[in-house]
Amino acid sequence: MTFREDGEGLNDRADHLDHEVFQAQKALNDARGKRLDLLEQEMADAQDRLNRMQASLNTLRDTPSPSALKAPTPLANLARAMPVLLPVGMVAMLGFAIGHSSARKAPQYPLFKTSAAANHARMTGSASTRGASYGSVEASTRIRWNGKVRKSTGIDVAVGTDCRIEGRFGSRGAHLAKADIEVWCGDKMVYEKGVYTGPEAVVGVDEYAAQGGSFVYNLDVEDLHRPGFDKRAMASIDTEARVAVISRDVAGAFRLEIDVEPVSSPVASSGPLFNSPRSDSAVPSVRIARNARVVRATAGAPASSGDKCTVEVVPATPRSGWSCRTFVRCGDKALYGEQRTGYTECSGDDSNLQIRDLGYTLEDGDAKLDADLSKGTLTLSENDTSTWTVELKVD
């Protein structure tokens, strides 16, 4: 009896599931049909607009010579241009709305504790924007970062050439509202980002108070997308990582790698660019920079025993969501902390700093790191893209 009741229960459950599957399939078919109807209507509307534009074009082709034409009135000109201006205007308004809604100010997080000697420098703002300039600006300033060409391919710019990144930045409150940027190497402008750059370009600026009432800035630019017909250069700039890469992959392809100063030249100003002062978080007056050497390296590691290295630690920008950022370089190789990587958790102060990154490359973009600068130890390890360990003795 029990077996029959259990079997009947299973049959009822199966029937119920069959009914649910049928209802789900029906809802899916209904949604698909509505979507197809919508697409067909959109295609019909688009075809209708194309037909009207073609008719306007045919009219223009059949227009008599200028000597036979009567001067059109302004209203006639406007009416004639409407079939073309309306679609263009709608696209422009859509692009404006996307760019405007994408502007954002990232959350701010406390930095790691610093020594008393560093407390004179205070972070005053951090902002980023996606896309071109928009809206009115309340404050603006010119900022410059200096650099030098490290590698050059496909362009007449020699290694060692002095470069500069110059920008005109505007803010609206705590938000970056305008960013017109040029990169010059020698007398050649190799990159320009202005109001015509599309909404895919992202610019981030972090502002720090410096001595004498001036301010210095970090710059982060990611402008890496171009349609095939666009001949302008692309840029990936991360001044905190000391790297700027300018490139073009269409006709006249080239690539420039530039060593950039981590902060801008001081900007004398009557006030900060962003009105978001932070009196609760200090930043070190200088980077924590230590020399190191490799004491052990396993097979396949990106460094060898005895290699000379450098270890640098800075507070991470509030936009990142991490407490600090670490760079480990051995010779000309970056073992940890390349562009937009190297973010870690730090605790302690400048003389007793502990650094932890528990994720491997596939998890967070760089190797696992465990360091205690008070003991002079730092270990890097990888266990997904490859398997290796490097141990450093930090001075």
Residue type, 274: F
Are 83 and 134 within one domain?
no
Q: What is the pLDDT of residue 208?
A: 83
Are 63 and 131 within one domain?
no
Q: Which domain holds residue 48?
A: 2-102
Query: Has residue 112 been placed in a domain?
Result: no
Q: What is the pLDDT of residue 8?
A: 57
Q: What is the pLDDT of residue 229?
A: 79
Q: What is the pLDDT of residue 85?
A: 47
Q: Choose among 378, 375, 374: nearest CA to 335.
A: 378
Average pLDDT, the chain: 74
Q: What is the pLDDT of residue 251?
A: 83
Contacts of 344 (CB under 8 A, 6+ apart): 316, 322, 323, 324, 325, 326, 355, 356, 357, 369
Residue type, 200: E
- Residue finishing a domain among 43, 72, 102: 102
Are 86 and 154 within one domain?
no
Are 213 and 350 within one domain?
no
Integer angstrom CA distances of residue 74 from 69, 78, 285: 15, 6, 62
Q: What is the pLDDT of residue 125?
A: 55
Joined together, the tokens standing for residue 330 give: 């051995």
Q: What is the pLDDT of residue 380?
A: 95
Contacts of 75 (CB under 8 A, 6+ apart): none
Q: What is the pLDDT of residue 88?
A: 43
How confident is the chain (395 residues) per 10-residue block, as mean pLDDT? Answer: 49 66 66 66 69 65 46 44 46 39 29 30 52 62 95 96 95 86 96 66 85 87 84 91 92 94 86 62 59 95 94 82 89 86 85 88 89 94 91 95
d(CA 322, CA 339): 15
Q: What is the pLDDT of residue 69?
A: 40
pTM comes to: 0.61
Query: Has residue 283 been placed in a domain?
Result: no
